[in-house]
Structure 1
Amino acid sequence: MKISNLIKTSACLLVASQIAQAAIPYKNTTYQFTQPNGDQITLSINGNDYYAEQRTLSGELVIFDNELNGFSFAKVSNDGESIVSEKRLVTQKNAVLKSTSHVNKLTLKKTISEEARQRIVLKNKHIFLNKQEQKTSFKSAAMQLPGQVQGLTIIIQFPDELGTISQNQVNAFLNNVPYTEFGNAQSVRGYFLNVSNNKLDYKNTVTRYYTAKKNKSYYADNRYSSSVRSQELISEALNWLEYTEGFDFSTLSTNSSKQIRGLNIFYAGDSDSAWSKGLWPHMARLSPRFCADNVCTDRYQITNMGNNLAIGTFIHESGHLLTNWPDLYDYDGSSEGSVASFGVMGYGAIGQQNKFKPTPPVAHFRYLAGWDTVTELNPAINNQAPKGRLTHISGSNTSYKWTNPSNANEAFYIEAIHQSEQNQYQPDQGLAIWHVDTAGSNSNEWHPYIQMEHADGDRDPENNRNRSDNTDLFDGQQTHSFDKVTPNAYTSKGTNATWWNGSDSGLSISAISDPATQISFDISTVQPPSGEIYTGSLSEKGQDIHPDGRWFQYSGGLIKLDLLGPNNTDFDLKLERWNGSWAQVDISESPDSQESIQYQANDGYYRIIVLSYSGAGNYTLTVNK
């Protein structure tokens, strides 16, 4: 298969803000916490490093109270902007389980405003990743990974809590092929060998146990953010490794800035901390950084070992450390993102099954890492593009791409997903279509960096209804086509083959075969209409002026306007010229919302008006001059 020059040169341009996305996700995750009175309570957490909500198993909202040095029942402040303590400690007795349905309903309930959650997310990003993060360009796409990456994993115990998982067990967890201990289907190294088609061999040097200078309670002190005492512990261990063990840090893989790619910390036992406090597991940038042997630290991940090890979270965080892939879920909880559980950088590594066998990265990420061969399908870019009946094999480290000729940073990626091999625990099987746009942001679930085109058209994850289901992929049994109006002909928030500016991409996929390891489908070669595209939404009797609320100067010639509005409405179209005031020169006002104007214009200033005679909804205006 051929990779077009445009693909090679354009895919590396990713927005700088994406690199700041690096947080551990939690979904109905439970953990135990010992209160000041000795009570051990069980809490449920939903969120990530930057924002999370915690509840008792009975569904009551709780928050860590620094004055009480424990978890208190909580409520939403009167202004709806924060969660505040009720100054009433949670106990075993008053945190009893009521009912499963009650728990789920309350756990999913949103509390503070979306704007307030976003402010908390930004504040905590700053704490964990500091100002330097905002100045770093996301160039991992351009810097394809070398064939071998050597990381470092330091294992730590405490004078009052010794490690129970041996150095050999940690080494096997990270490096052995094959590997099945603790219920895992593979090791960390085995996962990356698998999803990269053996193009990435990620190994870790595992130290012997470092015994911390102080007891565990010192580092797990809940009065401090997890980026404080954790970093003190990591700095201790790095200095021990340099000055006592004589470790050669130059043996580790680094990026172009001589920063260590994979720095991982495992410590003995449970976290013994509240969320975001003490030794709570997280990823952050080490500050001040540690340097030795002409290399320095950058980001790290730290987590507790407990009594067992699952590769999922380690894999997800390694996606950040090794490649700078961003998270693909929504931090503030207003949605589940779009990719949701279909990719390892979404929630595809934290489920009960895929924490032991994570889903692969989406096709776009595999390409950025240099693992996939991508075939450009758009004949406007690749004059050798295949057409007609095509096939794709799940897990083949190939994919198809349909790039926007007017914007090299926007494209649709196409791949088959079958629930077997590394894709065994995907929520669905069929043809996956990813809409990639580097201008997108995960803070906007309706225009993210990577949008999954859901075959059922429901967009459940974006609407916070679920984290993907078995009707999301395209196949011959359900939705078997994808074009500018299918599955949803909505101008916005739908599932269809339009670019983000509302124009038709020209991509049309049909006759998709039934779910199988190999998926077949027909690809269209019809080119979309030319012209400038404007989109908008009208209220009843409302109107919009174009282009974008302004006017345009035209030296003369044919002006062709085409308006497409919603069914069961009557939108009209006007063209006006400036003659000391705006005067109508042409109008189209049929009894529906499909209007056209062809006007032979003289030199002058013009503007276009779209107005509602009756009804409301979204529209698309195409202008050719």
Structure 2
Amino acid sequence: MKGKHLGKVLSVLVVASSSAFAAIPYKDQSYFFTQPNGEKVEIVLNGNTYVATQTTTSGFPVIYDEKLKGMTYAKLSENGETYISSGVLVASKTLQNKRLEATFGERKSLSREAVIEQLSKARTEFLGTSSERSAPLAIDGNVKGLTIIIDFPDLRGTISKSQVESFLNDLNYAEFGNAQSVRGYFREVSGGKLDYTNTVTAYYTAKKNKAYYADSSLSSTVRSQELISEALAWLENTQGFDFSTLTVDSSKRIRGLNVFYAGASDSSWSKGLWPHMAQLSPRFCADGVCTDRYQITDMGNSLAIGTFVHESGHLITNWPDLYDYDGSSEGSVASFGVMGFGAIGATNRFKPTPPVAPLRDKAGWDTVTELNPSINRNAPLGQVSHTSGTNTSYKWTNENNANEAFYIEAIHKSGQNSEQLDQGLAIWHVDPTGSNSDEWHPYIQMEHADGNRDPENNRNRGDSTDLFDVAGEFSDTLPNALSSKGTNAKWWSGKNSGMLIDKISDPKPTMTFNVDLVGALPIEEYRGYLDNKGQAIEPNGNWFQYAGGSISLNLEGPTGADFDLKIEKWVNSAWQQVAVSESPTSSESINYTAASGYYRVIVYSYSGAGNYLLYMTR
């Protein structure tokens, strides 16, 4: 976060659920709230489920007052650490800004410390005390989800079951302005590897009128979960639905549980029937499977696939959100990926951007070429090319940390990428230890070609100068050399990755660029032959003295044999094993952080004979 104040007014949610964990993003989204006197007032929302700005259309902060059962103008508490109700209900025309400011003071934002504290409480209650959910999943083939459609005794559904089925499952779909269906989106971005369809129920009519479930005095997970539990029991006991037909994970938990209900949310943000995703508690079990997470949203008068696709990214692939949770910035990926803000714009909600290359790789949808020659001896250095939207990508992995890497892909404003903000070469810096609440070290950082890091500095959600093109270069010092907040090819440790990308072509569907290895350790090659059960010492039958640092080894032996690899250190007048790689093949690798001392490398045959090739950097 930057400065003494955040520069925007924040109304921080503290929720009752301990199982919700994903946040739907909002951008200048208006919703209408019905006041106790029957007047409808327009509220503008920016942010996500964890932290958001709620204002009038003129920008004055508002908050829900549980005693008055309505939306009131907000003011800072005496200690400036939270917003409290002024006791004055928001009205469309009766109060003007000057009168408001004279009554409640200027529009002031919460202090940085107050927002951090309240956000921490909100996220703890959403996520629990454990870390975020497990890593992204590999997923392909046919995946079957369930979508329940619900109306109420006093509000019947106006969007038909067949319309919802088409929205979810049709391969040629254009209703409500959408460019494709949910199924069509996932088939496209997965290169045809994932076919995600949904079984759609008949309308379930809730037991009570809508106002009961939309009660804004309760967290969004209270009456929503009551409603979902009703519908699931109805499906099981009245409709005889076979839940075993749905796709489940290894723990027999349903992967895709979706709920649409008639009309608008009719609730305040984060309350009542406000759209959200959470974990159903208590869970529902039938036919040998159980519920886990769900998403619920209103249908309104039309359907747009953006939010459904974004939430499905959480449900079926475990993708994380890629924006800044605490609202102090727009994150780094910003609008360039579906798990950032790439599913909520004026056009993106009808045609969301694809998932970024690292997430496609984790899902198993991309063919990824390793460019770091210390890891891939056949790395294609020099001029290479990439075609946008082909489910291929490049990466340059940290030889000392296999989880950290740069991914490279071309993005052209065509096909699924037609709604992107820019076109050119995209570079993503991935580190699972990063935090989405730290815009300067997130899980996935976009390396902005202009070096300005506008989204991180809260200036915009991406622009037309963020992707690399003919004027761009990416190296240890370029676009800028700031060690912590710059755009460059350093690892998070501060060490040079050794990657240089230059000679980039103009943006077009297939781009070319040059990849070189610079400023990195030389790669040593050692060749030899092993008899069955034999061994060899490298380098060249000798030991070596080492001042300390990283030792990286890659071994390739004959197909059909099982060659292994280990590093030994001279300790107490004897050689002691300090690192080993023993897979059932002849391809082995070791990345070892060594202290000062004497070392040697042993290549040995567990079974089989033949030639080997050993690469070493130190």
Q: Which runs of 5+ in 2 are unaligned?
A: 1-18, 99-105, 523-544, 550-595, 598-617
Is 1:67 the counterpart of 2:88 in the alignment?
no
Q: Report the Cα distance in structure 2 between the residues aligned to 1:263 and 1:156, rounded to whole angstroms.
A: 14
Is 1:188 the counterpart of 2:186 in the alignment?
no
Q: Report the Cα distance in structure 2 between the residues aligned to 1:231 and 1:329, rounded to whole angstroms.
A: 27
Q: Report the Cα distance in structure 1 between the residues aligned to 2:93 and 2:377, rounded to whole angstroms.
A: 71
Check conservation: 2:294, 2:315, Cα contact below 8 A. yes
Q: Report the Cα distance in structure 1 between the residues aligned to 2:346 and 2:444, rounded to whole angstroms.
A: 25
1:124 alignment partner in structure 2: 122
1:491 alignment partner in structure 2: 483
Deviations, residues 100-154 of structure 1 (Å, cap 9, x unaligned): xxxxxxx9x98223343333334333444556xx27761433xx11311000000
Q: One-letter code of the match for 1:30?
A: S
Q: Report the Cα distance in structure 2 between the residues aligned to 1:121 and 1:290, rounded to whole angstroms.
A: 30
Is 1:32 the counterpart of 2:32 in the alignment?
yes
Q: Report the Cα distance in structure 1 between the residues aligned to 2:305 and 2:481, rounded to whole angstroms.
A: 41
1:324 alignment partner in structure 2: 318
Q: Report the Cα distance in structure 2 between the residues aligned to 1:362 and 1:70, rounded to whole angstroms.
A: 41
| Distance of aligned partners of 1:471 and 1:386 in 2 relative to their CA distance in 1, 3 Å threshold | same
Partner secondary structure for residue 221 of structure 2: coil
Deviations, residues 161-205 of structure 1 (Å, cap 9, x unaligned): 000000000000000011000000000000000000010000000
1:16 alignment partner in structure 2: none
Q: Report the Cα distance in structure 1 between the residues aligned to 2:393 and 2:21, rounded to whole angstroms.
A: 25
Q: One-letter code of the match for 2:44?
A: S
2:497 equivalent among 502, 505, 525? 505
Q: Report the Cα distance in structure 1 between the residues aligned to 2:288 and 2:358, rounded to whole angstroms.
A: 33
1:114 equivalent among 94, 112, 116? 112
1:79 alignment partner in structure 2: 79
Deviations, residues 69-122 of structure 1 (Å, cap 9, x unaligned): 101101222333211111111111146799xxxxxxxx9x98223343333334
Check conservation: 1:58, 1:96, Cα contact below 8 A. no
2:414 alignment partner in structure 1: 420
Check conservation: 2:27, 2:46, Cα contact below 8 A. yes
Q: One-letter code of the match for 1:523?
A: V
1:616 alignment partner in structure 2: none
1:232 alignment partner in structure 2: 226
Q: One-letter code of the match for 2:79?
A: D
Check conservation: 1:42, 1:57, Cα contact below 8 A. yes
**C-alpha deviation, 1:67, in angstroms:** 1.0
Residues 473-488 of structure 1 aligned to structure 2 (within 5 Å): 473-476=467-470, 478=471, 480-488=472-480
2:557 alignment partner in structure 1: none
Q: One-letter code of the match for 2:114?
A: A
| Distance of aligned partners of 1:414 and 1:136 in 2 relative to their CA distance in 1, 3 Å threshold | closer
**C-alpha deviation, 1:421, in angstroms:** 0.5
Partner secondary structure for residue 138 of structure 1: coil
Q: Report the Cα distance in structure 2 between the residues aligned to 1:57 and 1:246, rounded to whole angstroms.
A: 48
Q: Report the Cα distance in structure 2 between the residues aligned to 1:275 and 1:155, rounded to whole angstroms.
A: 22
2:399 alignment partner in structure 1: 405
Residues 178-257 of structure 1 aligned to structure 2 (within 5 Å): 178-257=172-251
Partner secondary structure for residue 234 of structure 1: helix
Residues 450-465 of structure 1 aligned to structure 2 (within 5 Å): 450-465=444-459
2:265 equivalent among 259, 263, 271? 271
Let me know the Cα RMSD of the aligned residues: 2.4
Q: Report the Cα distance in structure 2 between the residues aligned to 1:449 and 1:375, rounded to whole angstroms.
A: 21
Residues 558-569 of structure 1 aligned to structure 2 (within 5 Å): none
Q: Report the Cα distance in structure 2 between the residues aligned to 1:559 and 1:395, rounded to whole angstroms.
A: 43
Output the TM-score relative to the length of structure 2: 0.79
Check conservation: 1:504, 1:529, Cα contact below 8 A. no
Is 1:140 the counterpart of 2:129 in the alignment?
no
Q: One-letter code of the match for 1:347?
A: F
1:51 alignment partner in structure 2: 51
Q: Report the Cα distance in structure 1 between the residues aligned to 2:342 and 2:97, rounded to whole angstroms.
A: 29
Check conservation: 2:135, 2:319, Cα contact below 8 A. no
Check conservation: 2:20, 2:277, Cα contact below 8 A. no
**C-alpha deviation, 1:527, in angstroms:** 4.9
Check conservation: 2:20, 2:278, Cα contact below 8 A. no
**C-alpha deviation, 1:434, in angstroms:** 0.1
Q: Report the Cα distance in structure 1 between the residues aligned to 2:125 and 2:548, rounded to whole angstroms.
A: 54
Q: Report the Cα distance in structure 2 between the residues aligned to 1:95 and 1:368, rounded to whole angstroms.
A: 53
Q: Report the Cα distance in structure 1 between the residues aligned to 2:231 and 2:306, rounded to whole angstroms.
A: 25
Check conservation: 1:20, 1:125, Cα contact below 8 A. no
Check conservation: 2:21, 2:278, Cα contact below 8 A. no
Q: Report the Cα distance in structure 2 between the residues aligned to 1:430 and 1:138, rounded to whole angstroms.
A: 32
| Distance of aligned partners of 1:97 and 1:371 in 2 relative to their CA distance in 1, 3 Å threshold | farther
Q: Which runs of 5+ in 1 are unaligned?
A: 1-18, 99-106, 531-555, 561-601, 604-624
2:567 alignment partner in structure 1: none
Output the TM-score relative to the length of structure 1: 0.78
**C-alpha deviation, 1:53, in angstroms:** 1.6
2:580 alignment partner in structure 1: none
Q: Report the Cα distance in structure 1 between the residues aligned to 2:64 and 2:483, rounded to whole angstroms.
A: 45
Q: Report the Cα distance in structure 1 between the residues aligned to 2:359 and 2:416, rounded to whole angstroms.
A: 16
Residues 375-414 of structure 1 aligned to structure 2 (within 5 Å): 375-414=369-408
Q: Report the Cα distance in structure 2 between the residues aligned to 1:199 and 1:97, rounded to whole angstroms.
A: 54
Q: Report the Cα distance in structure 2 between the residues aligned to 1:264 and 1:305, rounded to whole angstroms.
A: 12
Q: Report the Cα distance in structure 1 between the residues aligned to 2:443 and 2:234, rounded to whole angstroms.
A: 41
| Distance of aligned partners of 1:269 and 1:557 in 2 relative to their CA distance in 1, 3 Å threshold | closer
